[in-house]
C-alpha cells in the first residue's frame, strides 16, 4: 500500500490560481489523508504549454497564419505514437527533456489522475485536449489507469479537436464531470461510454480550510474593518481587455442602484503573474472612487481556504471567476456569476448554479437584468443562504465521489501491476 505511487496533474494552468489549487489539494487530501500513497505532481510549472510548445516536433516553427499554427499543434499529438513505438522497439527515450520526464514518471506510477482541468474545450484545445491526449497515450502504453476528476467538458466544436478527443478519451477509465447540463452530453457526443461518466459537484467544494487559514482570514477582515460590517465580495478579472470599460460601467450602475448599505471588498485571484487580478481591480477601484463609491482591495496573496473564510463572513459575492462562486456556495453564501464570453463560461457558471437551482444568477455582463439580480440576491440573502446550506448537506452526505472511487481503485491495484 505504501509503495503505491500516483501521478496527479493539476489544473489547466498548472496550479496557478485559487480554483485549480483548491481542486488539486482537495483531491490529494481526500485520497491520501494518512499519507499511505506516494503522490507525484507534475513538478513542471506551466507543463501544458511546455509539453505542447516545446517538446513535440515543429515547435521551432513560428507561423503567423493561424491555420498553419493549428496544423503543427495537431501533428504534435500524433508524434507521441512514433516515439512510443521507438521506445517499445529500441528502448530509446526522446531527446526532449520534458517528454522524457513524463515518460519516466508515468512508467513508475500506478495511477494517473487529472485533477480538475476544465480545459477540454475549444477555448483551450491546444493545451487541454492535445496535451491530455499525449499524457493519456503514454499512460496507455504503460497500462496505467487514467482518471479525470472534477472536469468541465466542452464546448468542443472544432472538428480537429473533436477527432483528437475521440482518440484519447476512450482510454480514460472514468470521468467525473462537474455539471449536470452540458458535460455528459459533450462526452456522449464524442462516443464516451455513459456508464463511465459520473456527475458530481466541483472538487473545489471539498477543500478543507485549515485553522491557520481561518485565523488569517479573521486578521485580514479586522485589518480592513470588515469584521463588523455588511459586505459583498466582488471579483473581476481581465479575461477580455476590450470589454473593460463597458464592464466597469455596468458594474458601477448595478452597485449604485442595488447594494446600498453594503461595503465592497475586491478579492483578487492570483498565485503568479499569469493569474493576477490585482491590476484590473486597482483600476476598478479607481473608477468607482471617481464615481463617488468607495471600496477596499485585498492586496495580499491568499490561499483557497482564506478566500472561503472571507466569503463565509460576507453576505454574498459577485464574480467573473467561476471558482469564487464555487467557494461562495460551498460556505453557504449566494453568488452572482458574470459571464464574459459565450460557450466555455456559460457551461461552467450555469453548471455550478444549476446544482442549487440558482441558474438565474448566471448572467452575461451586458444583461439588462444584472442590476435586478444583484438587488434580488441582496434582498433575499438569508432565504437563499438557507437553501444553499440545505443543499450542501446533501453534497456532504453524498461525499467526494471521485475520491471514494479512487481509493477503491487503488486498493485493487497490486504494486507494480495494473
Mean pLDDT, contiguous 10-residue spans, the chain (418 residues): 77 65 90 87 54 44 46 64 77 73 87 82 75 85 92 87 86 93 93 95 95 95 84 88 87 84 88 76 92 89 92 94 95 94 86 96 90 91 95 94 92 61
Whether 233 and 328 have beta carbons less than 8 Å apart is answered as: yes
What pLDDT, on the 0 to 100 scale, is given for residue 43?
56
SS3 23: helix
- Distance in angstroms (rounded) separating the CA atoms of residues 63 and 373: 45
- Distance in angstroms (rounded) separating the CA atoms of residues 344 and 140: 29
Residue 39, Cβ neighbours under 10 Å: how many?
17
Whether 363 and 160 have beta carbons less than 8 Å apart is answered as: no
Q: Map out the domains of the chain as residue ranges.
A: 5-206+397-412, 212-379
What pLDDT, on the 0 to 100 scale, is given for residue 11?
65
Beta strands in 236-361 (DSSP E): 263-266, 296-297, 316-319, 335-339
User: Cβ contacts of residue 327 below 8 Å, gap of 6+?
Assistant: 18, 22, 204, 207, 304, 307, 308, 311
Please write down the long-range contacts of 182-185, taking CB distance under 8 Å and 24 or more positions apart: 182/152, 182/153, 182/154, 182/155, 182/347, 182/351, 183/151, 183/152, 183/153, 183/154, 183/347, 183/351, 184/153, 185/154
The distance from CA 377 to its chain's CA centroid, rounded to whole angstroms, is 25
Whether 204 and 10 have beta carbons less than 8 Å apart is answered as: no
Whether 98 and 152 have beta carbons less than 8 Å apart is answered as: no
What pLDDT, on the 0 to 100 scale, is given for residue 394?
94
> Measuring CA to CA, which residue among 183, 209, 29, 212 is closest to residue 118?
183
What pLDDT, on the 0 to 100 scale, is given for residue 383?
95
User: Cβ contacts of residue 150 below 8 Å, gap of 6+?
Assistant: 23, 27, 115, 116, 176, 178, 200, 202, 203, 204, 402
What pLDDT, on the 0 to 100 scale, is given for residue 401?
94
Whose cell is 478566500? That residue is: 307
> Measuring CA to CA, which residue among 56, 44, 58 is closest to residue 94?
56
Whether 151 and 175 have beta carbons less than 8 Å apart is answered as: yes
Beta strands in 67-222 (DSSP E): 111-115, 146-151, 174-177, 197-199
Whether 25 and 207 have beta carbons less than 8 Å apart is answered as: yes
Helix, strand, coil percentages in the chain from 3-state DSSP, rounded to 5:
55, 15, 35
Domains 5-206+397-412 and 212-379 share a fold: yes
> Measuring CA to CA, which residue among 310, 337, 306, 335 is closest to residue 21?
306
Degrees (nearest 5) of the Cα angle 389, 363, 282?
Answer: 90
What angle, 0 to 180 degrees and rounded to 10, lies between the N-to-C axes of helices 344-354 and 322-330? Answer: 10
Q: What is the pTM of this model?
A: 0.89
Beta strands in 17-122 (DSSP E): 38-41, 111-115
- CATH 3.40.50 fits domain 5-206+397-412: yes
- Distance in angstroms (rounded) separating the CA atoms of residues 309 and 219: 11
Pick the CATH number of 212-379 from 3.90.190.20, 3.40.50.2000, 3.10.20.740, 3.40.50.720: 3.40.50.2000
Sequence-ordered alpha helix ranges (H) in 195-299: 211-223, 244-258, 278-290
Residue 12: CA atoms inside 13 Å, Cβ hemisphere, count? 19
Amino acid at each position: 500500500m505504501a509503495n503505491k505511487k500516483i501521478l496527479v496533474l493539476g489544473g489547466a494552468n498548472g496550479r496557478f490560481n485559487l480554483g485549480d489549487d483548491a481542486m488539486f489539494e482537495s483531491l490529494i487530501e481526500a485520497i491520501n489523508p494518512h499519507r499511505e500513497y506516494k503522490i507525484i505532481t507534475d513538478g513542471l510549472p506551466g507543463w501544458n504549454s511546455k509539453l505542447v510548445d516545446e517538446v513535440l516536433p515543429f515547435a521551432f516553427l513560428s507561423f503567423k497564419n493561424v491555420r498553419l499554427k493549428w496544423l503543427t499543434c495537431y501533428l504534435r499529438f500524433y508524434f507521441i505514437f512514433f516515439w512510443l513505438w521507438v521506445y517499445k522497439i529500441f528502448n530509446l527515450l526522446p531527446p526532449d527533456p520534458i517528454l522524457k520526464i513524463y515518460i519516466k514518471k508515468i512508467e513508475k506510477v500506478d495511477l494517473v489522475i487529472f485533477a480538475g482541468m476544465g480545459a477540454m474545450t475549444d477555448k483551450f484545445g491546444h493545451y487541454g485536449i492535445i496535451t491530455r491526449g499525449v499524457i493519456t497515450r503514454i499512460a496507455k502504453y504503460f497500462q496505467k489507469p487514467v482518471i479525470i476528476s472534477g472536469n468541465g467538458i466542452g464546448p468542443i466544436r472544432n472538428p480537429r479537436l473533436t477527432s483528437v478527443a475521440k482518440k484519447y478519451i476512450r482510454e480514460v477509465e472514468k470521468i467525473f464531470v462537474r455539471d449536470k447540463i452540458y458535460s455528459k452530453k459533450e462526452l456522449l457526443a464524442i462516443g464516451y461510454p455513459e456508464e463511465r461518466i459520473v456527475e458530481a459537484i466541483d472538487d473545489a467544494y471539498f477543500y478543507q480550510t485549515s485553522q491557520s487559514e481561518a485565523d488569517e482570514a479573521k486578521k485580514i477582515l479586522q485589518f480592513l474593518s470588515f469584521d463588523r460590517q455588511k459586505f459583498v465580495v466582488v471579483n473581476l478579472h481581465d479575461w477580455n481587455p476590450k470589454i473593460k470599460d463597458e464592464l466597469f460601467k455596468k458594474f458601477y450602475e448595478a452597485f449604485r442602484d442595488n447594494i446600498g448599505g453594503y461595503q465592497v471588498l475586491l478579492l483578487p485571484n492570483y498565485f503568479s503573474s499569469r493569474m493576477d487580478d490585482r491590476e484590473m481591480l486597482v483600476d476598478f477601484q479607481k473608477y468607482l472612487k471617481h464615481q463617488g463609491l468607495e471600496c477596499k482591495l485585498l492586496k495580499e496573496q491568499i490561499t483557497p481556504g482564506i478566500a472561503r473564510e472571507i466569503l463565509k463572513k460576507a453576505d454574498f459575492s459577485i464574480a467573473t471567476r467561476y471558482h469564487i462562486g464555487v467557494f461562495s456556495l460551498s460556505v453557504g453564501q449566494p453568488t452572482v456569476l458574470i459571464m464574459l464570453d459565450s460557450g466555455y463560461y456559460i457551461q461552467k457558471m450555469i453548471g455550478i448554479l444549476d446544482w442549487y437551482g440558482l441558474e438565474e444568477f448566471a448572467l452575461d455582463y451586458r444583461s439588462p437584468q444584472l442590476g435586478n439580480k444583484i438587488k434580488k440576491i441582496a434582498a433575499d440573502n438569508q432565504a437563499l443562504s438557507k437553501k444553499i446550506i440545505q443543499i450542501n448537506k446533501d453534497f456532504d452526505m453524498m461525499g467526494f465521489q471521485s475520491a471514494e472511487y479512487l481509493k477503491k481503485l487503488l486498493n485493487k491495484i497490486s504494486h507494480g501491476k495494473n
